[in-house]
């Protein structure tokens, strides 16, 4: 069990999202940085789909009421265990009574904490994601509060031992490096309504720098930069949007839709961020900036497949290590 | 019928059934949805039907976009042979005005009507659900009389209680969960439009035929208590 001594800014249980219910208007939700979430789970010996704790900017203080094995991946929010800095992107044995805390957000905005065995929360519509606005999923449909007790599923002492031993051999593992940056270059496909924008806007979107506004959350990041406009104003018919759709409302400032986006939208979409680059945006803090670079849908699909292969290799490497020790 | 195909992302393809909202394009959306549901190919992750589009999400590790398009073209070629599912008929009881519908007065004044006249017009229409979107189970409902149309509020309310019935332009709809929103609120229904504990978590589906009926506050309370008890 994990005792939440302090909740932090926003700490909530998430997984890879609620799939299959968007046609009923149910948002996908899920983690903002699926890459970090999946690696954290693999390092902790879990399935990639297991729920993790998404920790935003100012992290929580968590006490472990039993021996555990954990991994923290994603943005560097200066994690420490019992006051000692804790390395990210690798597994750690955590003895009973340990206290995990976070300090200053150094690089990136969100960390993912995976615990071996994963969290014991009920699935709602086949997912453990917290859907805050509807108050469902995750831990009681809400972000964690001070004093909460978050249960974990039990793992056997043998398994815990195996993870512990395996961890001693960790460092050479094939962990794909996170590419987080304060000013990332984000690859983007032209959106469904790209051609409806005026020429200046079609050029600017791929040339100029955009800054993340303070008015940004898990639903979407509002960007500030050169104003974007349609060739002629027109009403569009609402249609599906996706994680990474870049839509432009009448005020000319683009919004990148993220994990908690609505299922449909009526604003013109000037672009669509390549899936593999979504973590680069999700890890930006307000005030940081980015540039878009053009990519085709075919190339974006190729990058996606390559990333899946990398993650699969990591999974196999971890399995092999575990077999050596069990 | 002409269909166009274009990518939404490297894992989603949009089939457009028309460029304007009409019966034909909506029928095509409904038929495509029922075909996709029946055939459920392995590479299909999920799909989102809207007014004139069906967006198909696929697993990029299993299939290339060009192949997805080919498969979907095959599907659309046989659309004429498919029968659209018969619309279900659903009655939505509404307690109009008062605290439940604080904008009923505005809608009446805006259209030079009394509150009773607005209710009479709202309950006399036969409506159809065009699509579900925006919020879980939120129906975009068409077919409302122009006589009671009203503009959106200049500044949206931060909290609209769940089950509230609203009007925006010539559309009417029901907020299934508490959200911010800019529609004019005319009443509340005891029905739950978002039911996460059911296999299909939305009470309404695209294509449903809807009628609104008037109930008083006592009936509202009674029905609400009964429906909530069923789900707890």
Asked if A25 and B51 come within 8 Å (Cβ–Cβ), the reply is: no
Residues A211 and A157 grouped into a single domain: no
* Mean pLDDT computed over A40-49: 93
Under an 8 Å CB criterion, which residues of B touch A?
6-12, 14, 20-21, 33, 45-53, 55, 57, 60-61, 64-65, 131-138, 140, 176-179, 194, 196, 200-202, 205
Q: What percent of chain A clears pLDDT 90, i.e. is strictly above it?
A: 82
| CA–CA dist A176, A300 (Å, integer) | 18
Q: Are residues A70 and A116 in the same domain?
A: yes
Answer for the pair A263, A22: CB distance below 8 angstroms, yes or no. yes
Backbone angles phi and psi of A293, in degrees to 5: -125, 140
Residue pLDDT, tens place only, A252-298: 999 999 999 999 998 999 999 999 999 999 999 999 999 999 999 99
The shortest CB-CB distance from B8 to any of A22, A136, A242 is to A242
Whether complex ipTM tops 0.85: yes
- Determine the residue of chain B that is closest to A265 in CA distance: B134
Percentage of chain B lying above the pLDDT 70 cut: 100
pLDDT at A179: 82
pLDDT at B82 exceeding the cut of 90: no
Q: Which two tokens stand for residue B76?
A: 């659309």
Question: Which pLDDT value is given to residue B171?
Answer: 87
Residues A98, A221 share a domain: no
pLDDT at residue A115 greater than cutoff 70: yes
- Closest residue on chain A to B201 (Cα): A24
- Categorize the per-residue pLDDT at B181 as very low, low, confident or very high, splitting at 50, 70 and 90: confident
Which residue, B59, B38, B37, B61, is CA-closest to B48?
Answer: B37
CA–CA dist A50, B196 (Å, integer) = 21
Considering only residues A322 and B117, tell me which one the structure prediction assigns the higher pLDDT.
B117
Alpha carbon of A308: minimum distance to chain B alpha carbons (Å) = 8
Q: Do B46 and A23 touch (CB under 8 A)?
A: yes
Q: Going from the N-terminus, what domains does chain B have, and what CATH number goes with each? A: 4-81 (3.30.1360.40), 89-230 (2.40.100.10)
Residue A80 shares a structural domain with residue A208: no
Q: Are residues A137 and A265 in the same domain?
A: no
The pLDDT value recorded for residue B232 is 65
Evaluate whether residue A317 is within a structural domain.
no
- What are the φ/ψ torsions at residue A95 (nearest 5 degrees)? -70, 155
Mean pLDDT of B63-89: 90
Residue B134: name the closest of B177, B91, B168, B83 by CA: B177
The structural domain count of chain A equals 2
- Domain span at residue A240 reads 185-295
Tell whether A158 and A12 lie within a shared domain.
Answer: yes
Residue A181 is predicted with a pLDDT of 86
Domain stops at, among A114, A148, A175: A175
Beta strands in A175-288 (DSSP E): 185-190, 209-212, 220-224, 239-240, 245-247, 255-257, 264-265, 269-273
Measured between CA atoms, how close is B139 to chain A, in angstroms? 9
Task: Read off the pLDDT of residues A123-177 as tens digits, 9 standing for 90 and up.
Answer: 999 999 999 988 999 999 999 999 999 999 989 988 888 888 776 555 555 676 7
**Is pLDDT at A247 greater than 80 in this prediction?**
yes
Residue of B nearest to A123 (CA): B197
A325: pLDDT strictly greater than 70: no
Indicate whether B174 pLDDT > 60: yes
Q: Are residues A128 and A226 in the same domain?
A: no
Question: How many pairs of residues across A and B have Cβ atoms under 8 Å apart?
Answer: 134
When CB atoms are compared, the residue of B57, B60, B196 closest to A304 is B60
CB contact under 8 A, B61 and A19: no
Search chain B and give the residue with CA nearest A266. B134
Strands (E), B10-144: 12-16, 44-49, 53-58, 89-96, 127-132, 139-142
> Would residue A322 count as lying in a domain?
no
Chain A residues in contact with chain B using a Cβ-Cβ cutoff of 8 Å:
19-27, 124-125, 133-136, 189, 192, 237-242, 244-245, 262-264, 269, 272, 274-275, 297-298, 300-301, 304-305, 308
Residues of A in contact with B37 (CB under 8 A): none
Q: Which of A22, A304, A308 sits opposite B10 (nearest CB)?
A: A304
pLDDT at residue number A96: 95
Query: What separation, in Å, do the N-terminal and C-terminal C-alpha atoms of chain A show?
Result: 25
Question: Using CA atoms, how far apart are residues A255 and A233, in angstroms rounded to an integer?
Answer: 18
Query: Does residue A146 sit in helix, strand or coil?
Result: coil
Residues of A in contact with B53 (CB under 8 A): 237, 239-240
Considering only the beta carbons, identify the residue of B8, B65, B132 that sits closest to A298: B65
And the tokens for B151?
């503009």
Alpha helices per DSSP H over chain A: 34-43, 157-168, 199-207, 278-282, 297-325
Together in a domain, A166 and A189? no
Asked if residue B94 lies in contact with residue B213, where contact means CB atoms within 8 angstroms, the answer is: yes
On chain B, the residues whose CB falls within 8 A of the CB of A301 are 10-11, 60, 64-65
Chain B positions touching A305 (Cβ under 8 A) are 60-61
Q: Is the CB of B45 less than 8 angstroms away from the CB of A19?
A: yes
Residue A326 located in a structural domain: no
C-alpha span between A236 and A264 (Å, rounded)? 12
Q: Which of A26, A297, A305 sits opposite B201 (nearest CB)?
A: A26
Whether residues A240 and B8 touch (CB distance < 8 A) is answered with: yes
Q: Pick from B8, B47, B61: which is nearest to A192 by CB?
A: B8
Q: In the structure encoding, which two tokens stand for residue A263, read together?
A: 């299922």
Is B7 a residue whose pLDDT tops 70? Answer: yes
Q: Nearest-CA neighbor of B43 among A272, A265, A306, A301?
A: A301
Q: With DSSP H G I counted as helix, E B as strand and the rest as coil, what are the percentages for chain A, rounded to 5?
A: 25, 30, 45
Domain CATH for A220:
2.40.100.10
Q: Which residues of B touch A124 (CB under 8 A)?
A: 196
Q: In terms of domains, do A151 and A246 share one?
A: no
Evaluated on CA atoms B122, B123, B129, B134, the torsion sign reads positive
pLDDT tens-digit map of A299-322: 999 999 999 999 998 888 887 776
Q: Which of B183, B196, B180, B200 shows the shortest CA–CA distance to B141?
A: B183
B200 and A24 in contact by Cβ < 8 A? yes
Average pLDDT, stretch A3-14? 97
- Mean pLDDT, residues B8-21: 95
pTM (two decimals): 0.93
- Specify whether A153 is located in the same domain as A6: yes
pLDDT value for B156: 83
Kindly state whether residues A161 and A190 are assigned to the same domain. no
Q: Which of A175, A210, A233 is the last residue of a domain?
A: A175
- pLDDT tens for B137-158 read 999 998 899 999 999 888 888 8
Q: Cβ(A18)–Cβ(A30) under 8 Å?
A: yes
- Spell out which residues of chain B touch residue A300, defining contact as CB-CB under 8 Å: 9-10
Give bridge partners of residue A81 from the DSSP assignment: A84, A100
- Residue B106: predicted pLDDT: 96
Alpha helices by DSSP H, B50-152? 65-77, 104-110, 115-124
- Shortest CB distance from A239 goes to which of B14, B45, B205? B14
Average pLDDT, chain A: 93
Q: Would you state the pLDDT for residue A168?
A: 58
Contact A5, A144 (CB under 8 A): no
Q: Which residue has the higher pLDDT, B63 or B207?
A: B63
Domain endpoint, select from A145, A175, A205: A175
What is the per-residue pLDDT across A211-233, written as a single tens digit (0 to 9) for each? Answer: 999 999 999 999 999 999 999 98
Using the beta-carbon criterion (under 8 Å), do B10 and A25 form an inter-chain contact?
Answer: no
Nearest to A127 by CA among A11, A269, A6, A31: A31
Say if residue A99 is in the same domain as residue A36.
Answer: yes
Q: What is the mean pLDDT of residues B30-55?
A: 94
For residue A275, give the nearest of A311, A239, A248, A251 by alpha carbon: A311
- Any residues with CB less than 8 A from the CB of A203 and at least 6 apart, and which? none
Element (H, E) at B220: helix B217-230
Number of Cβ within a 10 Å radius of residue B74: 9
């Amino acid at each position: 069990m994990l005792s939440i001594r302090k909740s932090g800014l926003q700490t909530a249980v998430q997984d890879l999202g609620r799939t299959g219910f968007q046609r009923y208007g149910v948002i996908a939700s899920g983690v903002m940085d699926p890459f970090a979430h999946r690696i954290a789970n693999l390092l902790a010996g879990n399935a990639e789909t297991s729920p993790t704790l998404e920790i935003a900017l100012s992290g929580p203080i968590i006490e472990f009421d039993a021996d555990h094995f954990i991994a923290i991946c994603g943005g560097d929010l200066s994690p420490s265990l019992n006051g000692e800095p804790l390395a990210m992107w690798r597994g750690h044995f955590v003895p009973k009574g340990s206290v995990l805390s976070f300090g200053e957000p150094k690089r990136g905005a969100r960390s993912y904490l995976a615990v071996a065995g994963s969290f014991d929360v009920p699935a709602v519509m086949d997912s453990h994601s917290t859907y805050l606005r509807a108050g469902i999923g995750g831990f009681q449909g809400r972000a964690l509060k001070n004093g909460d007790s978050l249960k974990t599923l039990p793992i056997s002492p043998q398994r815990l031992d195996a993870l512990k031993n395996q961890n001693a051999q960790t460092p050479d593992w094939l962990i794909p490096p996170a590419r987080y940056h304060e000013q990332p270059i984000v690859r983007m496909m032209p959106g469904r309504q790209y051609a409806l924008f005026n020429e200046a806007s079609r050029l600017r979107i791929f040339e100029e720098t955009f800054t993340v506004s303070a008015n940004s959350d898990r639903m979407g990041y509002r960007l500030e930069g050169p104003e974007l406009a349609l060739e002629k104003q027109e009403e569009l018919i609402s249609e599906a949007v996706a994680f990474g759709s870049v839509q432009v409302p009448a005020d000319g400032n683009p919004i990148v839709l993220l994990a908690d986006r609505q299922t449909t939208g009526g604003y013109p979409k000037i672009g669509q961020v390549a899936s593999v680059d979504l973590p680069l945006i999700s890890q930006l803090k307000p005030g940081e900036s980015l540039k878009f670079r053009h990519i085709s849908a075919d190339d974006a699909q190729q990058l996606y497949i390559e990333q899946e292969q990398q993650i699969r290799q990591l999974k196999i490497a971890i399995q092999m290590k575990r077999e050596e020790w069990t | 019928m002409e269909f166009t195909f274009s990518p939404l992302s490297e894992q989603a393809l949009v089939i457009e059934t028309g460029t304007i909202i009409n019966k034909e394009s909506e029928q095509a959306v409904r038929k495509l949805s029922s075909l996709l549901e029946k055939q459920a190919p392995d590479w299909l992750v999920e799909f989102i039907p809207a007014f004139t589009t069906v967006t198909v999400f696929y697993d990029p590790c299993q299939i290339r976009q060009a192949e997805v398009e080919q498969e979907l073209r095959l599907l659309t070629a046989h659309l004429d042979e498919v029968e659209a599912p018969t619309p279900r008929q659903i009655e939505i009881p509404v307690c109009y005005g008062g605290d439940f519908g604080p904008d009923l007065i505005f809608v009446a004044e805006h259209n030079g009507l009394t509150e009773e006249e607005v209710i009479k017009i709202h309950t006399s229409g036969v409506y159809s659900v065009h699509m579900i979107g925006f919020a879980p189970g939120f129906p975009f409902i068409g077919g409302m009389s122009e006589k009671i149309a009203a503009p959106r509020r200049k500044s949206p309310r931060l909290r609209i209680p769940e089950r509230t019935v609203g009007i925006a332009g010539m559309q009417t709809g029901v907020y299934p969960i508490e959200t911010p929103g800019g529609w004019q609120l005319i009443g509340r229904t005891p029905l739950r439009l978002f039911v996460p504990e059911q296999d299909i978590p939305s009470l309404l589906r695209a294509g449903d035929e809807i009628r609104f009926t008037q109930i008083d506050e006592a009936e509202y309370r009674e029905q609400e208590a009964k429906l909530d008890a069923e789900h707890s």
